[in-house]
């Protein structure tokens, strides 16, 4: 007992304060009476809540918090870090200049870039390959902060990627472009420089284009 020393003083059987660090016991009031033993009052109390809920929700659906996912989507905070996207210039060319800043800063080593030369001399380089392994990504957002050109963002609002095969999580450059529309037959809108057309850029063979 922590109070033994206090008690030995004499009349003070109940100490005014407890010694610091002493074990304090909170006495929970037990309800052991007949009303508890027959269960029924407690069950009726529970039924009152469940039946009230039942009728509220059946009649008005007022308390239902379900979001009907594919049709309805949860509102994502503006700062939420979702799947990446590669932003575009106004003329439709990809903003990325293949500076390797994001690949360098990425703690998960999930970005893989291969640079290529652009015929347009205003920009020095562009990414021939820009792959993100979304399975390795830790969604820290450092790539977005590192980018000097505002070329990569994580503001797509895509919070969940679900595929049945691991390959599908390897997002290639063209899948990451923010003008990519998965359901369209033609993958790209106005693209002045034919990025995925290998004939136009003979030196960029390899994994470019998808």
Structural contact between residues 72 and 64, judged by C-beta atoms closer than 8 angstroms:
no
Q: Which of 40, 135, 138, 159 binds another protein (CB under 8 A)?
A: 40
28 binds another protein (CB under 8 A): no
Q: Least separation, in Å, of the C-beta of 67 and another protein?
A: 10
Should residue 74 be labelled a site residue for another protein when binding is judged by CB under 8 A? no
Which stretch in 46-54, 74-82, 86-94, 121-129 sits in contact with another protein by CB under 8 A?
Answer: 46-54
Which residues make beta-bridge pairs with 112? 131
Rule CB under 8 A: is residue 32 a binding residue for another protein? no
Task: Based on the shown chain and the rule CB under 8 A, indicate whether residue 35 belongs to the binding site for another protein.
Answer: no
Distance CA 176, CA 136 (A): 16
What is the Cα Rg of the chain in Å? 32
Backbone angles phi, psi at 125, to 5 degrees: -130, 165
What's the rounded Cα separation, in Å, for the pair 109 and 133?
Answer: 9
Return the number of the residue (24 or 30) whose C-beta is nearest another protein. 30
User: Token pair for residue 164?
Assistant: 């049945």
Separation of CA 176 from chain center: 17
Q: Determine which residue in the list 23, 49, 77, 162 makes contact with another protein, applying CB under 8 A.
A: 49
200 binds another protein (CB under 8 A): no
Q: Which two tokens stand for residue 25?
A: 């016991």
If the CB atoms of residues 63 and 167 are measured against another protein, the closer one turns out to be 63
Q: Give the range of 53-61, 76-84, 143-151, 190-198 binding another protein by CB under 8 A.
A: 53-61
Q: Which of 19, 38, 135, 159 binds another protein (CB under 8 A)?
A: 38
- Of 178, 179, 177, residue with least CA distance to 190: 179
Query: Can you tell me the distance from the alpha carbon of 153 to that of 85, in angstroms, rounded to the nearest whole number?
Result: 5
Q: What is the spatial order of strands in the sheet that 125-133 belongs to?
A: 111-117, 125-133, 170-171
Q: Is 47 in the site for another protein (CB under 8 A)?
A: yes
CB 70 to another protein: min, Å: 10
Q: Which residues bind another protein (CB under 8 A)?
A: 37-38, 40, 43, 46-47, 49-51, 53-54, 57-58, 61, 63-66, 68
């Amino acid at each position: 007992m922590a109070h033994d020393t206090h008690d030995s003083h004499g009349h003070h059987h109940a100490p005014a304060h407890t010694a610091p660090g002493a074990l304090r016991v909170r006495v929970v009031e037990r309800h052991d009476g007949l009303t508890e033993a027959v269960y029924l009052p407690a069950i009726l109390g529970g039924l009152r809540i469940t039946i009230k809920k039942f009728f509220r929700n059946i009649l008005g659906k007022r308390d239902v918090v379900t979001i009907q996912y594919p049709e309805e989507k949860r509102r994502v905070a503006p700062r939420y870090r979702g799947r990446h996207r590669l932003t575009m210039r106004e003329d439709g060319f990809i903003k990325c200049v293949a500076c390797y800043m994001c690949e360098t800063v990425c703690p998960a080593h999930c970005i893989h870039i291969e640079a290529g030369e652009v015929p347009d001399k205003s920009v020095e380089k562009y990414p021939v390959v820009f792959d993100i392994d979304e399975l390795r990504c830790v969604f820290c957002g450092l790539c977005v902060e590192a980018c000097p050109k505002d070329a990569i963002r994580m503001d797509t609002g895509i919070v969940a990627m679900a595929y049945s095969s691991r390959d599908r999580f390897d997002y290639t450059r063209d899948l990451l472009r923010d003008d990519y529309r998965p359901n369209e037959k033609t993958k790209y809108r106005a693209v002045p420089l034919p990025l995925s057309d290998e004939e136009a850029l003979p030196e960029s063979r390899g994994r470019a284009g998808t």
